[in-house]
Structure 1
Amino acid sequence: MQQLLAATLLLAASAGALAHVTLETPEAAAGGSYKAVLRVPHGCDGSATTALRVILPDGFHLAKPMPKAGWQLSTHRQAVTPFDSHGSLIREDVTEIEWRGGPLPDAFYDEFVFRGTLPASGEQAWFKVLQQCERGETRWDETPAGDAKASHPAPAVRLLPPAGHLH
């Protein structure tokens, strides 16, 4: 009986973890190149997903989204703190990415991909996501405060020390 209870609790915990928009790779080196794979496991309360907008964290640079068949792709650029990229001073960069179209039915799962350079410092980089559906929307934009669990957590990547950096 205890084994059945433990298995049920494990299954419930893993189902809850799958209920959120998450990143496939949860940790990477600060300042390094990163391929973000956003996993979208469901729609909004049974309604199909029709758009996904990602607000990139401060310090995430040179974002390039992957086109997705059946979806229109757009980016929003704005002025950023200037930074060097291979000898060029970058003053404007992508700060948001949006895929619009689909639809992605609630019963199906899909992934949305982009790449870029992670912030050079910090503990975590939070990618705030707005999931729009045929009926309603879900904001995956909460960051934890202390020990409190967020009900709609933003996908995050834990930033590790850069390769070759000794702690």
Structure 2
Amino acid sequence: MSRTTRARRPALATAGVLGGVVLALAVPSMAGAHVGVSPDELTAGDHGVLTFSFSHGCENSPTTALRITMPEGLASVAPTMDGDWNIAVERGDDGLVSAVTYTALTPVPNDLRGAVSMSVGLDESTPETLAFPVVQECVDGKTEWTQLAENGEDPHSLDAPAPVVSVTAAAADGHGDHDAADSSEATAATPTSTDPLGIALGAGGLVAGIAALIVAILAYRRRA
């Protein structure tokens, strides 16, 4: 093996390690560069507070505003007042909120987490999936988080996915969980019924055991 080949191996190894480090640092950064929503699951017919958060601007430019479009199937929308944002509400012909724009009083620097929230109400006819397209405006440029995964497509493979909330079906009646809990508590509180025959047999066995013990003691004393 030549000296040149031996010298190249450490250099290639070093380059590989550095490349892996760069990739390890870049992947979490790219994965976190989106607008997320929490919680990502609600129950049909229920209410909940959705929080939309982000930690990156547009190409590292500070964020100035978020415009969130409401999907069909929401019975009500009420943006949360926040001293860090001005809020503008748009309504459709039906009077329901169609979009909400949050404008930052001070641009949110890159790598600092920003968040806005709103209360939403669902009805029984709300679809199983609610997508909230978001346009993130920055000091320089903007990013449209509006992509939706097709059937069988991994949402994580999208470059600019829209925040999505899954809707689960409501229980058959609104008190199903409470009834189950009450039933469990009632069962736990109910005293266990006694069996007279079992008690009699147990007592008889105890007496027989004591008698056998006495006989054994007497027999032992006689032998002694």
Letter in structure 2 aligned against 1:71: W
Greater RCO, CA 8 A, separation 6+: 1
Farther-moved stretch of structure 1 (63-72 vs 105-114): 63-72
Q: How many residue pairs align between the two structures?
A: 148
Letter in structure 1 aligned against 2:142: E
DSSP-derived class of the 1:122 partner = coil
Say whether 1:29 aligns with 2:40.
no
2:134 alignment partner in structure 1: 129
CA distance in 1, matches of 2:57, 2:81: 20
Larger Rg: 2
Contact 2:74 2:126 in 1 (8 A): no
1:152 alignment partner in structure 2: 160
Deviation at 1:121, TM superposition (A): 3.1
1:3 alignment partner in structure 2: none
2:117 aligns with one of 110, 113, 120: 113
Give me the TM-score of the superposition, normalised by structure 1. 0.78
Deviation per residue, 1:90-148 (Å, 9 max, x gap): xx111111111331011211110001113533221001100000000000111111233
Give me the TM-score of the superposition, normalised by structure 2. 0.60
Alpha-carbon distance change, 162 to 70 in structure 1, aligned in 2, over 3 angstroms: same
Contact 1:41 1:108 in 2 (8 A): yes
Deviation at 1:78, TM superposition (A): 1.3
Contact 1:61 1:94 in 2 (8 A): no
Q: Which runs of 5+ in 2 are unaligned?
A: 1-22, 177-224
Segments ≥4 residues shifted beyond 3 Å: 9-17, 163-166
CA distance in 2, matches of 1:31, 1:11: 42
Matches within 5 A, 1:85-104: 92-101=95-104, 102-104=106-108
2:65 alignment partner in structure 1: 51
1:61 alignment partner in structure 2: 75
Alpha-carbon distance change, 11 to 122 in structure 1, aligned in 2, over 3 angstroms: farther
DSSP-derived class of the 1:79 partner = coil
Q: Which runs of 5+ in 1 are unaligned?
A: 1-8, 81-91
Alpha-carbon distance change, 45 to 15 in structure 1, aligned in 2, over 3 angstroms: closer
Letter in structure 2 aligned against 1:115: S
Deviation at 1:10, TM superposition (A): 9.0
Contact 1:29 1:163 in 2 (8 A): no
Aligned-residue identity in percent: 28
2:220 alignment partner in structure 1: none
